[in-house]
Structure 1
Amino acid sequence: MSHTTLLAIAVAGVATLLLLILKAKVQPFVALVVVSVGVALAAGVPAADLVKTIEDGMGATLGHIATIIALGAMIGRIIELSGGAHAFAHSLIEKFGSRRTPLALTVAGFVLGIPVFFEVGLIILMPIAYGVARASRKPLLVYALPMGAAMLTVHAFLPPHPGAVAATEAIGASQGLVLLMGIPVTAVVVLLGHLLSRRLTRREYPMDPAVYAEVYGEPGADAGTPGRAETSPPTSDGGHATAVLTKPAPSGTDVRPPSFGMVLALIVTPILLILLGTIGENTLPEGSTPRAVLTVLGAPMVALLIAVALCGYFLGARRGWDRARIAEVMGSALPPVAMVILVAGAGGVFGKVLVASGIGDAIADVLERTGLPALLLAFLTSLALRAAQGSATVALITTAGILTPLLHRADLSTGQLSLVALAMGAGALALSHINDAGYWMFTKLAGLDVAAGLRTWTVLTTAMGCAGFALTTALWPLV
């Protein structure tokens, strides 16, 4: 089959995928599988090999990422339900002082965004922003905008978030190097986002009366602690979420929330283990005992498993939770991420089909002839898919599937591939607009209308995505 025909099939497949998700409102997992089957048959994959191709793509992808995503979700859930996230944010506000409260909430969003999924983090921290805005009588957006953008940045760039994990594994990058380079890159992007948000929030925007009453305690609203924001259900896979304000649930048997240092240590532990494993593999002699130990402890699955055990003990058992309660909390983390894991697996199927059908090589030929650097192609492809269908996770997974043949042909180093993964994350961060669940969730909780959301949230995330790409470009000569 000619390259022209294969490329036409690929274009038709991506167009069909977008139509199914955007127009027909088909769940992204189902849409990816349907399109993968259609593309495989149209491209001439033998019917006898079709099922095996799908199984291989699903199995190879989930074998790497399912455990990591599930363990990361458990860590976030324990920190959330133990009261650790609220305690951490309030401690930062006290340490930074009232004048720098927006920066304190931005830092809280950045740090808590590592183990906690974006939607859940927004649910946890938005009531704190409500309380601060009420006390200061300043616009809610001053506090909420940089905080929310910080969490979305981490969601797009760093493991253990599903899109970052799936893209990193698909292209053969190192999760340790992605963290080693991605954490400082993300920190700078978040700081730039904080500075830009100060300019964007100089003017006031119209605010939904119900949210205004909830935040500022106007007549008809409870003037006490702001309600907890919930969505039903929170999604990271392109589904729209509707925000509802309810009162926080009682904390049960907990006497007091965990300390700032405890929460920070538990968040940092798996990151340090993964980084030590990466450093050990690159600096210690092969076959040495220290290298073997660090390699095992630094494997993302092992590092996160250790962190889950530590969270269960220090945030659960030591604070009065029995084993049944700890197991219940861990189990409650899995249903919200189950569909995300399946979407990631379906993305792996799509990538496998592209390779097995020869479409991947055809795309690689075309992209090579453009003369554009791999880093720029990664950013632009992810940006286009993010703008078209809304989900950062789907954009990252699909981009990885499209570009993997080209990246393998380019014979890039592990460090270069890790920067390519970060460039994909930069594209997935930008252009969060009306087809993104995160856009609707933030604007509903912040009380913004569509126009105000586009002028603030969309502008900020796009600027931060471009800044992230510029930073990865600056690092390229160093690897």
Structure 2
Amino acid sequence: MSAMTLLIIAVAGVAVLLLAVIKFKIPAFLALLTVSVLVAIAAGIPLDEVITSVQSGLGGTLGSVAILVGLGAMLGKMIELSGGAEALAGKFTRILGPKRVTAALTAAAFLLAIPVFFDVGFIILVPIIYGFAKAAGVNPLKVGLPVAAIMLAVHVVVPPHPGIVGGAGVIGSDIGWITIIALAICAVLGVPAYLTAKWMNRRDYPMLPATAEQFRLFGSGKSEVELESGAGGTAVKTKTEVQAPPSPAMIIALIVLPIVMIMLGTVSAVVLPEGSAALPALGLIGSPVIALLVTVFLAFIFLGIRRGWSASTTGEVMDAALAPAAIVILVTGAGGAFGKVLTESGIGTALAETLSSAGLPILLMGYLLAAVLRAAQGSATVAIVTTAGLLAASVGAGEYSALQMALVTIAIGFGAFGFSHVNDSGFWIVTRYLGLSVADGLKTWTVLTTVLGLCGFALTSLLWLVLSPLAG
């Protein structure tokens, strides 16, 4: 099948999906699964492999997302109902003033994103985003949009994140140079991330009803906990008086703990020699699942039991967090299924191979190839590694310096930064937690990631012009 035919199928698939969700209000989960099957058939995937491809994409995404979202939701609910998020937000708002808290949280997110995957870090910060938005009296989108953007920027271009590390390995770039340059560029990108998000937020975007209700009730359990649960329509209410909200220091500790644990695992893998007896244990401690699991248990004790809640009430609070999280999990998984179908159909690879014959400068080629692959199949990691493979021979034959090879790899990363849309699982995580409809998500999150990807590439190109003569 020709690249043009595959492109038409991909564009038609995305158009049908957007029409189904935006115009006909079909639930995103149902629409994503249906369009995934239709695109797989149209792209020529054998009929007996269509469902396998969809299930593989769904399962692969859920395997990495479901546990993290579930544990993150539990931690967030405990921080919320204990009054901890409001206490932390209130303290920082008093210290910095309402106009500065978003910039401060964006700067903090830049640091937190270095050792932590994008989805994990964002989920951990969701209750803090809600708390700061409540304290400032604004839509959480105004706080969450720049925070999510800078975290994704770090995720795509700063080691030890998998896409950039894999791309560097394929091309043979120096990880040290990539880390130094990418951190510097991302620090600068925090400014356009904040300003662009602020410009977008000049207008108010209506929140999805479910998210609006969740945000309205956020922090309502400051003085007491009241839950309604039960099967068969029978409501069970639990009210338990609790102590004063936990200190901001306690909340900061619970947020930082999983970050430190993950960082410990990451650093140990780099510092310790291969075959070290300590590596498996530190790797286990530093895995995101274990880091969040330990933190949730500590929240169970210090935000629940130690503050006057019974074990059963604390358990019900955590269980109550899973129902709204299930929507995020399933929609994200369906987005992964759509991306998997697009990948297996060969749409992205066919387009990239066609583009690679255009004879463009190596830096621009890396950015464009990664951008095309990102838009076509959704995964930034796949886009980076695939683009690196397509360009490896050209880079190897070009006699580039170590510094130039690092810049080429970073340019590829920024190409994979933009065009986050309906085939990207991260799109659904951000839009669902911030209460954006698909249409508003395309107007805000998709545009913001694309603008910042272009800004990152522009800065990378500037460094190429300035540093290449020195490197030569």
Common fold: TM-score over 0.5: yes
Q: Residues of 1 paired with 2:163 and 2:208: CA distance?
A: 31
Unaligned runs of 5+ in 1: 131-139, 209-228, 235-240, 386-394, 430-435, 443-449
**How far 1:243 moved relative to its partner?**
9.7
Which moves more between the two structures, 189-198 or 48-57? 189-198
Asked if structure 2 preserves the Cα contact closer than 8 Å seen for 1:381 and 1:427, the reply is: no
Q: 233, 236, 258: which is aligned to 2:210?
A: 233
Go from structure 1 to structure 2 and tell me whether the alpha carbon gap of 1:2 and 1:377 turns closer, same or farther (over 3 Å shift). closer
Per-residue Cα deviation, 1:147-171 (whole angstroms, up to 9, x for no partner): 3544443675578xxx99xxx7799
**How far 1:474 moved relative to its partner?**
8.2
Q: Residue 313 of structure 2 corresponds to which residue in structure 1?
A: 325
- 5 Å-filtered alignment, 1:76-87, equals 76-87=76-87
Unaligned runs of 5+ in 2: 113-120, 168-174, 225-240, 396-404, 422-429, 468-472
Asked if structure 1 preserves the Cα contact closer than 8 Å seen for 2:145 and 2:197, the reply is: no
Q: Residue 287 of structure 1 corresponds to which residue in structure 2?
A: 275
Q: Residue 33 of structure 1 corresponds to which residue in structure 2?
A: 33
**How far 1:85 moved relative to its partner?**
1.0
Go from structure 1 to structure 2 and tell me whether the alpha carbon gap of 1:145 and 1:471 turns closer, same or farther (over 3 Å shift). farther
Per-residue Cα deviation, 1:389-431 (whole angstroms, up to 9, x for no partner): xxxxxx99466677775455456999998986676455549xx
Q: Residue 51 of structure 2 corresponds to which residue in structure 1?
A: 51
* Secondary structure of the structure 2 residue equivalent to 1:102: coil
Q: Residue 316 of structure 1 corresponds to which residue in structure 2?
A: 304
Q: Residues of 1 paired with 2:406 and 2:242: CA distance?
A: 45
Go from structure 1 to structure 2 and tell me whether the alpha carbon gap of 1:379 and 1:117 turns closer, same or farther (over 3 Å shift). farther
Q: Residue 149 of structure 2 corresponds to which residue in structure 1?
A: 153
Asked if structure 1 preserves the Cα contact closer than 8 Å seen for 2:266 and 2:283, the reply is: yes
Q: Residues of 2 paired with 1:11 and 1:48: CA distance?
A: 24
Go from structure 1 to structure 2 and tell me whether the alpha carbon gap of 1:146 and 1:375 turns closer, same or farther (over 3 Å shift). same
**How far 1:42 moved relative to its partner?**
1.7
Go from structure 1 to structure 2 and tell me whether the alpha carbon gap of 1:2 and 1:126 turns closer, same or farther (over 3 Å shift). closer
* Secondary structure of the structure 1 residue equivalent to 2:100: helix
Q: Residue 214 of structure 1 corresponds to which residue in structure 2?
A: none
Q: 286, 304, 318: which is aligned to 2:292?
A: 304
Task: Number of aligned residue pairs: give it.
Answer: 398
Q: Residues of 1 paired with 2:341 and 2:26: CA distance?
A: 20
Q: Residues of 1 paired with 2:431 and 2:327: CA distance?
A: 15
Q: Residue 258 of structure 2 corresponds to which residue in structure 1?
A: 270
Go from structure 1 to structure 2 and tell me whether the alpha carbon gap of 1:247 and 1:89 turns closer, same or farther (over 3 Å shift). closer
Q: 111, 116, 129: which is aligned to 2:136?
A: 129
Q: Residues of 2 paired with 1:312 and 1:415: CA distance?
A: 45
What one-letter code is carried by the residue in structure 2 that aligns with 1:268? V
Go from structure 1 to structure 2 and tell me whether the alpha carbon gap of 1:322 and 1:247 turns closer, same or farther (over 3 Å shift). closer
What one-letter code is carried by the residue in structure 2 that aligns with 1:126? A
Q: 330, 336, 339: which is aligned to 1:348?
A: 336
What one-letter code is carried by the residue in structure 1 that aligns with 2:54? I
Per-residue Cα deviation, 1:284-328 (whole angstroms, up to 9, x for no partner): 112212222221111111111122122222222221222222222
**TM-score of the superposed pair, with normalisation by structure 1:** 0.65
* Secondary structure of the structure 2 residue equivalent to 1:233: helix
Matched residues, percent identical?
35
**TM-score of the superposed pair, with normalisation by structure 2:** 0.65
RMSD: 5.0
Q: Residues of 2 paired with 1:281 and 1:77: CA distance?
A: 32
Q: Residues of 2 paired with 1:111 and 1:123: CA distance?
A: 16
* Secondary structure of the structure 1 residue equivalent to 2:275: coil
Q: Residues of 2 paired with 1:398 and 1:336: CA distance?
A: 25
Q: Residues of 1 paired with 2:451 and 2:6: CA distance?
A: 35
Asked if structure 2 preserves the Cα contact closer than 8 Å seen for 1:117 and 1:155, the reply is: no
What one-letter code is carried by the residue in structure 2 that aligns with 1:107? A
* Secondary structure of the structure 2 residue equivalent to 1:366: helix
What one-letter code is carried by the residue in structure 2 that aligns with 1:233? A
Asked if structure 1 preserves the Cα contact closer than 8 Å seen for 2:370 and 2:387, the reply is: no
Asked if structure 2 preserves the Cα contact closer than 8 Å seen for 1:79 and 1:263, the reply is: yes
Q: Residues of 2 paired with 1:359 and 1:305: CA distance?
A: 38
Go from structure 1 to structure 2 and tell me whether the alpha carbon gap of 1:148 and 1:311 turns closer, same or farther (over 3 Å shift). same
Go from structure 1 to structure 2 and tell me whether the alpha carbon gap of 1:183 and 1:299 turns closer, same or farther (over 3 Å shift). farther
- 5 Å-filtered alignment, 1:9-408, equals 9-96=9-96, 98=97, 101-108=98-105, 114=121, 116=123, 123-130=130-137, 147-153=143-149, 156=152, 189-190=189-190, 232-234=209-211, 249-251=220-222, 252=224, 253-369=241-357, 371=360, 372-378=364-370, 397=378, 405-406=386-387
What one-letter code is carried by the residue in structure 2 that aligns with 1:51? I
* Secondary structure of the structure 1 residue equivalent to 2:99: helix
Q: Residues of 2 paired with 1:63 and 1:230: CA distance?
A: 28
**How far 1:244 moved relative to its partner?**
8.7
Q: Residue 2 of structure 1 corresponds to which residue in structure 2?
A: 2
